[in-house]
Amino acid sequence: MKTEKNCKDFLLEINVQELPVSYIRPAITELRGAFLKELEASRIRHGETALGATKNSLICCIRDVSARQEEVSIEVTGPPKSMAFDKDGNFTKQALGFAKAQGVRPEGLRVKNTPKGEYIFVERRLKARPAKEIIVEIISRVIEGLYFPKTMKWDDSGLRFARPIESVLVLFGKDRLNVKLGKVLSKNIAPVEPAAYLKRVNKEMLIDPDDRKKEIKKLILKTISALGADQEVDEALLEEVNFLVDRPGVFAGEFNKKFLALPEEVLRASMAKHQRIFPVSKKGRLLNKFIAVTNGRGLDIKAVKSNYEKILEAKLQDSLFFFDEDTRRPLSENLRQLKDLIFQKGLGNMFEKIQRLKALSSFVCERSGIEGSLKKDIERAAELSKADLVTHMVGEFPSLQGIMGGIYALKTGEKKDACVAIKEQYLPHGMDGRLPESLAGSVLSASDRVDNVVGFLGMGIEVSGSFDPFGIRRNAQGLIQVIKNKGLRIRIDEVIERSIELYGDRLKVASSELKTRVISYIEDRMDFLAGEIRPLELKKAVLRTGRFDIVDIFNRLDKLSSISDKRYFLEAAKVVERTSNILKGVKEVVPENVDERLFKEELERAVWKAYTDSKSGIMSLIEKEDYVSATKEYAGAFYKVLHEFFDKVLVNVEDKAVRLNRLALMKAINRLYSDNIADLAQIPQIIVK
Amino acid sequence: MKKLSFVDVISKLNDFWSGQGCTLVQPLDAEVGAGTFHPSTFFKALGPERWRTAYVQPSRRPTDGRYADNPLRMQFYYQYQVLIKPSPSDIKQTYLKSLKALGVDTKKHEIRFVEDDWESPTLGASGLGWEVWLDSLEITQFTYFQQIGGKELDKISCEMTYGLERICMLIQNRFNVFDLEWQDGVTYGDLHTRHEIEYSKYNFDEADIDMHISMFESFEKEAKALADKGLVYPAYSFVLKASHAFNVLDARGAVSQNERPRYIGRIRALAKRCAELYIGNSKRC
């Protein structure tokens, strides 16, 4: 057994010219994972890891790495025993040859039983190589294998990386190891232990990305406090800045108040995009101030600040120009230009898109009971929804699409509801993004998403794994969230049908197939969004049942899962399960109606009476979406009597008419619940205690 | 210390980069969008031979015209272009030294290299690199070429394109380009304001659309004919003319979103053809 003494700390540092911000976190995570995997595969033990990631370096430090591989033995099988020994029991030439090839003496050969018969074999001890030899091989493999969205060449060695690698440092204990990696040189430093080296580097800069981020946030918040402003920090910008600096400092700057005339969103976008600086607001209103995060020590902050301020004003001057140009004419005059703007290849232009959107959102209004002026405003919003795509400001800041449309529409006298809808049409942006607050914005957002999903899937575009370049998944998910959030009562299958109709003959996939595909895609996303629900099968039981009304489906899920441990729920489930089971193997066509004249048994009549007595009550509870009471009623009406019925009455009797009539009765009871609330037969092992 | 004038900055850069072994050449006498279009870059970056060059290139981007109202954006401006092939490992340090040569104290001011993947769709050229920010202003485009004229490069060049006006703004502490000192009491505005206003009017409002469309067609035709005859430089000069005609049409609002990729594709095909011919001819010579 090796002792602790034979362990050394290990450190790898890749020094690289400024890495793209978004590459750094994934790279360091992958680097650690890949390296540990290689160590383990090479039977080299190791301890804890520590990571560093800055714009110029990826650092992976692993403590207590054993200096040698673990020793292991392997068995190498040779010829069958029958061929290894002659009739006198001596080794044959073949056996001797095998022993020689394996580098053992003939006495070392053993015999063992295998499924194929008896064979000779040798046990070989694999040589435990020094870890440092192996590490050198692993490192170049791991570095060359790192994934980046884009890679480049910088010399003619053929080596590719995200940006040019300047040097690599590998420390193993006190040794500095040389690695072969393109033309990259090893960093030339005096011998040093990894721990000491890390300490030294940390004096120069903050290498741990999380510590650094905390420090930057602390500095920003401190400055905000000094300004008496709102304690808000743009997290996305913070993450970005975190990988632009390694030795952070902060200062606050100012700009001319006249630029506050620009919409707040424009000011924020300009600051973030052009200078990566943080806006400052007080009581929710932007101030003519900003906070910049600087890098390094010894800066002439006064001069740097003055430059930042003047550059910001020059950039804002450009935004003012865009704003003035864009507002020289009403937004509606842009519509003509939308004919020149492609929506998606094969799916026509943006002008066609807004025509569809207008019709589709109008349809959604009708179906969800929105009428009068609000309906008109929504239609107008749909018509103007894409008009800002051809403005200067959206050309400069694509992230302001919708937002600028809303602002410009308001400036040219459009109704407020329409403007808000235009502004909110792209919400939510991500999984946890903000949802449209207005009803009008929700209708527009939902319609746009249906149009997108139907169009993309209709072109035969597939989503696989994480590959979703058209954002189909994001669109479908957003659609569900928007509808659920506003409680929009629509049958989504009808909206999909209407959307397909509106595309006319543009789509490649046949209408009925496409409808099924879109619906199953949305169901899949609902399943995902519903999260973990007990019992697990409840989602499937509810999703495939009743109207395809998203609000209603989530409501049913919610209600049923909240009563899933109640006795009456289990009783109801048992009723659905038993009636479903008896119908399962039936090959004949079971009639829709029950014929009372065919009843033979008293219990049959009792079950039928239970049905006729309870049906309208249960249906009216379902109508009121009171699924808890409906379940209670259902269980109360059928559980007992059906239990007795199954005990005493044989359903599958010889007489065909009687048999089918009994099955029809079972079907009616089953459908009453499973067609309207949930197909609880999906839930296995229902036990009523 | 006296602040450097616009002309001084050019001289200092010339001194610095000729000291680095760069052949100083003169601007291309044609309307181009950037220094990359100059044959000293476009052709010279293609082959395997060592090449170092530096030059000023007046550049035109008709859509960027602002009638001289904007402190930062113009449809006509000057780039200082440096191309080093093959790219040396210490090129970033050398670049920083060039800023020091301009009197920029890189310890007291903040220099950032911000990811920017450069692409010129008309030249079929692309590379990876950064925008270099000095106190948050983009002053240089720093690119390792990966592809030129649609050709994947074997020898990688490093291209550094300085925005001369922007550097001067920071050096002279004047944040309106037209207030910059050009030389001895002459301002940038003295030389350019009227030019900028008139060209903004021309590009946006006056340029004859039909004439430019027909010029584009003629230039394209001529470029093809010359390429067929193996006359690379003349062919290339007509590619540049076609490219500028397209830029004017674009600024004039005469290019729809549908047509844009087609125009660009046509120019790129010609540029690619010239690049191929250039390499072919060098081999024959």
What pLDDT does A223 receive?
96
Strands B51-60 and B23-24 turn out to be parallel
Same domain, A378 and A488: yes
| Position A401 in a domain | yes
Which range (A104-108, A293-297, A420-424, A551-555) has the least confidence? A104-108
What pLDDT does A510 receive?
92
**Test the A interface: residue of B173, B257, B260, B262 with most A CBs within 10 Å:** B257
Same domain, A8 and A91: no
Same domain, A459 and A412: yes
- In words, the CATH class of domain B6-202 is alpha beta
Same domain, A218 and A175: no
CB B82 within 8 A of CB B145: no
Min Cα–Cα distance to chain A from B156, Å: 6
| Position A41 in a domain | yes
Q: Give residue A58's pLDDT band: very low, low, confident or very high (50, 70, 90).
A: very high
- Give CA–CA dist A672/A664, Å, rounded: 12
pLDDT tens sequence across A95-106: 888 888 888 888
- Give CA–CA dist A684/A250, Å, rounded: 60
- Give CA–CA dist A187/A155, Å, rounded: 18
Q: Contact B86/A156, CB-based, under 8 Å?
A: yes
Same domain, A669 and A576: yes
| Position A14 in a domain | yes
Two structure tokens written together for A34: 């890949």
Q: Is the pLDDT of residue A588 over 90?
A: no
Report the CATH number at residue A154.
Answer: 3.30.70.260
Same domain, A423 and A468: yes
| Position A334 in a domain | no
Which ipTM score applies to this complex? 0.94
Same domain, A40 and A161: yes
Same domain, A91 and A189: no
| Position A604 in a domain | yes
CB A544 within 8 A of CB A515: no
Same domain, A282 and A419: no
Two structure tokens written together for A290: 């900003």
Q: Contact A18/B87, CB-based, under 8 Å?
A: no
Domain carrying residue A258: 209-326
Q: Give residue A1's pLDDT band: very low, low, confident or very high (50, 70, 90).
A: very low
Q: Is the pLDDT of residue A94 over 80?
A: yes
Taking alpha carbons only, the member of A125, A124, A146 closest to residue A38 is: A146
- Mean pLDDT of all residues in A171-192: 90
Q: Rg (Cα) of chain A, in Å, rounded?
A: 36
Report the CATH number at residue A595.
Answer: 1.10.730.10
**Contacting residues of A for B63, CB less than 8 Å apart:** none
Q: Give residue A5's pLDDT band: very low, low, confident or very high (50, 70, 90).
A: low
Q: Contact B136/A310, CB-based, under 8 Å?
A: no
Single out the residue in A204, A222, A243 at which a domain terminates.
A204
Parts of chain B with a pLDDT under 70 = 1-2, 257-258, 281-285
Determine contact: B190 vs chain A, CB below 8 A. no
The CATH number that domain B208-284 falls under is 1.20.58.180
Q: Rg (Cα) of chain B, in Å, rounded?
A: 19
Same domain, A151 and A264: no
Determine contact: B49 vs chain A, CB below 8 A. no
Residue-by-residue DSSP string for A592-659: SS--GGG--SHHHHHHHHHHHHHHHHHHHHHHTT-HHHHHHHHHHHHHHHHHHHHHH--SS-S-HHHH
Same domain, A398 and A493: yes
What pLDDT does A84 receive?
86
| Position A542 in a domain | no
Three-state DSSP class for residue B111: strand
Single out the residue in A152, A170, A204 at which a domain terminates.
A204
Which range (A179-183, A228-232, A276-280, A462-466) has the least confidence? A462-466
**Segments making up each domain of chain B, as ranges:** 6-202, 208-284
Number of domains in chain A: 5
CB A544 within 8 A of CB A527: no
CB A57 within 8 A of CB A16: yes
pLDDT tens sequence across A498-518: 999 999 988 999 999 999 999
Same domain, A610 and A676: yes
Nearest to B92 among A17, A20, A306 (CB): A17
- How high is the mean pLDDT of chain A? 91
What pLDDT does B35 receive?
96
| Position A102 in a domain | yes
Q: What percent of chain A has pLDDT over 70?
A: 99
Single out the residue in A88, A107, A126 at which a domain terminates.
A126
Q: Is the pLDDT of residue A2 over 50?
A: no
Min Cα–Cα distance to chain A from B110, Å: 7
What pLDDT does B282 receive?
57
Nearest to B73 among A164, A294, A318 (CB): A318
Q: Contact B89/A300, CB-based, under 8 Å?
A: no
pLDDT tens sequence across A7-30: 999 999 999 999 999 999 999 999
| Position A333 in a domain | no
